[in-house]
Structure 1
Amino acid sequence: MTKPLAGLFKARQKEAARPALYARGMRLCGEHLAVQGAGTTPPQARLTQAIGALAASLDSPAADHFDALLQVGERALEAGGDSGLGLALGVAETSARIRERSKGAWRLRGLALDGLGRGDEALECYERYVTLLPNGEAAPEVARRMDTLRRRRACLDAAVALFPEAGSALRDLLGQPHATTAAVSPRFAAYVRARVAEHGLGDPGVRRLLELYGTYRRLVERAGMPDPLLGGGTPIGVGGLRGLVAGRTVCLVANAGDVAGSTLGAEIDRYDLVVRCDAFRVRAEGTGERTDLHAVSLRGDTPWEGPAWTRPAGVRLVFGDPAAAWRRATRERLVPGAQDHVGDASLRRPLGDPALLGEDGWGTATTTAFTVLRLLDFLDASPRLDLIGFTLPGRLRPREAEWVMDRATHVDDSKMRIALR
């Protein structure tokens, strides 16, 4: 044990001897605030709070300065824009110099470079991040970006190889260390137009070039899917969902501490179909262990940027509007093999869809729990439909709770159960 501990102490001493790097990180934060101000949007406000936490940590020997610095980088990524991404990159570079083997620093650096359009550099950072992981397996969102960047570069290399002499200018640009997507894309488009004009659309090389260009443009617009079939997951519509729940007892479990702290787990797992919502935690004794249906609602202006849905589920329903945001979020956040079935577009907004329930007045802020409950009640295929953990006020919105209690057939406060069948 002596040598590992000695190595740890040396690493800490080496880090403690680098106050200039933390000062550099603080200076980057100050420069950002001087130009941008505190900001009024939630991401900007969280960034300002993170900068304040970093400043406070530097005056506290017991605080984790490094973690506070990385948090600034993460919040800068959320703030976005050239300024936010530039700050995130500066923080990541500083963090990597403080701890050369920090997984968080290399991941942050890759994400910042990726956002700035410096794909080749981002891929190098992602690969360094993966080598530092114990199992060598990147998080799904990073794996998706790595696959996308590799495929984009492959398209460019193959396109240049089709007409080697004419592609020298584009090849030179690709060889520059800081080439960005913003610089490469128009040059690639000009290269394609020139080859079409020179050889005509009937030329096999031109046809292949157009195919490569189309693939490249799609991969620039949206991340690729390493497994478009989602590990064999089957899309289902309204009829398919009804068939899956028909004749089965169903319970909807709240994401609440009193449920997790209860002893209802075995009773919950006795239902034929256990439904959970959004970001949930499982404690076998209190919440049960199974998740047969997971429902999640997309929130915010960029819902595709949320964490991937990695928890295993029999059925995953994603509620969201507009359609374009729903499509992008499902492409980028669904994980192959994490679900057997996934709801298709016919189930993305069941309350407001005139082809389904089409009920007015619920609005876009309806809780996920009520949305999936109302959908299951509408399908009218389950002999038993219970809610666990929703007996206390505040678990549902007032109008939602009123709807539930108007239709409740039995309420058991001792087991936090409301029965609708």
Structure 2
Amino acid sequence: MTKPLAGLFKVRQKEAAEPALYARGMRLCGEHLAAQGAGSAPPRARLTQAIGAFAASLDSPSADPFDALLQVGERALEAGGERELRLALGVAETSAMIRRRSKGAWRLRGLALDGLGRGHEALECYERYTTLLNGGTPAPEVARRTDTLRRRRECLDAALALFPEAGAPLRDLLGQPDTTTAVVAPRLAAYVRAMVAEHGPGDPAVRRLLELYGGYRRLVERPGMPDPTLGGSTPIGVGGLRGLVAGRTVCLVANAGDVAGSALGTEIDRYDLVVRCDAFRIRAGGTGERTGLHAVSLRGDAPWEGPAWTQRAGVRLVFGDPAADWRRATRQRLVPGAQEHVGDASLRRPLSDPALLGEDGWGPAPTTAFTVLRLLDFLDASPRLDLIGFTLPGRLRPREAEWVMDRATHVDDSKMRIALR
């Protein structure tokens, strides 16, 4: 076959393949819409509009269905749920089949895989996208995530190399396709705990392992790109939270009727930092009016959907696991401007996180009040740490209450106060 004829044959093959691939893209969109429940959140509405535009482009000679298909993927990424991320991935894969050298398709595929926690595959897509730029500058979020994923893998490899025999099962897991961070992270934490228990925290290799694990955790919890829903709120980690509470008097106020009906409001508001939990209510005379820190736990099965956190607070800490569902719930329920600071993912499970407290004995669902209290006590940055409204039984779980009373320096029943400092 001559070269001109070979070229013509390839063009006709491509023309024949494209309708089938666009049909595949349309089917993915249809399946997504069929499974989508009622909901009018702006990201979902924009995704639905993008699907409509893609459908219209298939019957319009002047429209480019390829660009419209990519736009569906971008809007699916923006919506952020797991189903939407899977739609974005399907769209990206279809787009890459249509145009194998499409930079947009490979970028979209990397971001979708990254959002699904498949970091190793995402890194390969980011590198392919960068190669297709032919020396051009990659998009900022891709450059940032490429660096993060490379460093994360380096931390993992170095951590497993410290104890090769013990690390072999996890190394095998990393080599399997579709392995996600949600699977790797708890296995790595278990490996770290086992090595600490076996060799002791003073062992040089264990100290290096803990250092690498801390680095890995920071890289895992780093968000893939700036989140516009934070509305100017500043994400903070452990160091940032310690800085905000350092030197300040702190009180943790119970969500209880006897507190609301008391006359303690003025006294509560005299503390430098007032901490409240979950769905708290304000009755100024009893509870005080100020909220310096609001802590909330995501309860029940993920995804955690519920009312937005509209209460004004200086700092909002959200507790929950696993990380992907925590991010989705936080993104959907935070209200821009309702808080100055938001705890990042490194603070989402302080009790069980080996990089923080590493305490597994508090059960699957410790109270929010105890979780934030234990975190503040661990930070050890406040000269005064009081609980108000926790003197009666039932406000904390029995083991939690026992921990508090073992460390109490003073109890004043008349003011419902327990002092830990």
Whether the 8 Å CA contact 1:276–1:294 is kept in 2: the answer is yes
Separation in structure 2 between the aligned mates of residue 360 and residue 192 of structure 1, nearest angstrom = 40
Hey, what does 2:354 align to over in structure 1? 354
Cα pair 1:159 1:212 within 8 Å, conserved: no
* In structure 1, C-alpha distance between the alignment counterparts of 2:380 and 2:295, rounded to whole Å: 18
**Equivalent of 2:43 in 139, 147, 157:** 147
The Cα offsets for residues 27-85 of structure 1, whole Å up to 9 and x where unpaired, read as xxxxxxxxxxxxxxxxxxxxxxxxxxxxxxxxxxxxxxxxxxxxxxxxxxxxxxxxxxx
| 2:56 corresponds to 1:157 | no
Partners of 2:382 and 2:87 in 1: CA distance: 59
Contact 2:88 2:108 in 1 (8 A): no
Q: Given that residues 152 and 216 in structure 1 are in contact (C-alpha distance below 8 angstroms), is that contact kept between their aligned partners in structure 2? A: no
Partners of 2:293 and 2:86 in 1: CA distance: 45
Q: Report the Cα distance in structure 2 between the residues aligned to 1:241 and 1:190, rounded to whole angstroms.
A: 39
Change (3 A) 1:165 1:238: same
Distance 1:157 1:237, change over 3 A: same
- Two-structure CA RMSD over aligned residues (Å): 4.0
Query: Residue 279 of structure 2 aligns with which residue?
Result: 279
1:146, CA displacement in angstroms? 2.6
Equivalent pair of 2:85/2:115 in contact (CA under 8 Å): no
Deviations 1:178-230 (A, max 9, x none): xxxxxx999999998787656x434xxx5557778989999999xxx996251
Contact conserved, 1:235 with 1:344, CA < 8 A, in 2?
Answer: yes
In structure 2, the partner of 1:268 is 268
| 2:231 alignment partner in structure 1 | 231
Contact 2:351 2:358 in 1 (8 A): yes
Q: 2 CA distance for matches of 1:195 and 1:337?
A: 38
Match of 2:338 in 1: 338
What do residues 68-112 of structure 1 show as CA deviations (whole Å, max 9, x unaligned)?
xxxxxxxxxxxxxxxxxxxxxxxxxxxxxxxxxxxxxxxxxxxxx
- After TM superposition, give the deviation of residue 302 of structure 1 in Å: 2.5
In 2, Cα distance between the equivalents of 1:352 and 1:294? 20
Change (3 A) 1:339 1:379: same
In structure 1, give the amino acid aligned to 2:328: R
Q: Deviations over 1:127-153 (max 9, x none)?
A: xxxxxxxxxxxxxxx5xx133322442
Match of 2:373 in 1: 373
- Contact 1:155-1:213 within 8 A present in 2 as well: no
Task: Report the alpha carbon displacement of residue 306 of structure 1 after superposing the two structures with TM.
Answer: 1.5
* Distance (Å, rounded) in 1 between the aligned partners of 2:87 and 2:317: 41
Shift of 1:345: 1.3
| Cα separation, partners in 2 of 1:219 and 1:265, compared to 1, 3 Å | same
Give the Cα separation in 2 of the matches to 1:329 and 1:380.
Answer: 29
**1:292 has 2:275 as partner:** no
Q: CA deviation at 1:251?
A: 0.2
- State the SS of the aligned residue for 1:235: strand
Residue 371 and residue 285 in structure 1: after superposition, are their counterparts in 2 closer, same or farther (change >3 A)?
same
Is contact 2:277–2:368 with CA below 8 Å preserved after alignment?
Answer: yes
> In 2, distance between residues paired with 1:288 and 1:413?
18
**TM-aligned CA deviation for residue 154 of structure 1:** 2.8
In 2, distance between residues paired with 1:262 and 1:165? Answer: 72
CA deviation after TM superposition for structure 1 residue 412, in Å: 0.5
* Aligned AA (1:348): R
Q: Distance in 2 between matches of 1:269 and 1:352?
A: 32
- Partner residue of 1:247? 247
SS in 2 for 1:276: strand
Aligned equivalents of 2:60, 2:111: Cα separation in 1: 20
Of 185-194 and 261-270, deviating more is: 185-194
Q: Is the 8 A contact 1:265 1:284 kept in 2?
A: yes
Q: Is 1:329–2:323 an aligned residue pair?
A: no
1:196–1:372 Cα change, 3 Å: closer
Aligned partner of 1:304 in structure 2 is: 304
Q: Tell me, which stretches of 5 or more residues in structure 2 are unaligned? A: 1-31, 67-83, 118-224
What secondary structure, in the 3-state scheme, does the structure 2 residue paired with 1:329 have? Answer: helix
Summarize deviations over 1:365-411 as a string: whole Å, max 9, x none: 21100110011011111010000000001111111111111111111
Letter of the aligned partner of 2:49 in structure 1? R
Which secondary structure does the structure 2 equivalent of 1:310 belong to?
A: coil
What letter is aligned with 2:274? V
Q: Could you tell me whether the CA contact under 8 Å between 2:269 and 2:288 is conserved in 1?
A: yes
Q: What's the offset of the Cα at 1:335? A: 1.3
Q: Among the aligned pairs, what percent are the same residue?
A: 71
CA distance in 1, matches of 2:356, 2:85: 42
Question: What is aligned with 1:318?
Answer: 318
Residue in 2 aligned with 1:404? 404
User: Do 2:260 and 2:287's aligned partners in 1 also have CA atoms closer than 8 Å?
Assistant: yes
Within 5 Å, give how 1:95-244 maps onto structure 2. Answer: 117=35, 142=40, 145-154=41-50, 157=53, 161=57, 164-165=60-61, 200-202=99-101, 207=103, 228-244=228-244
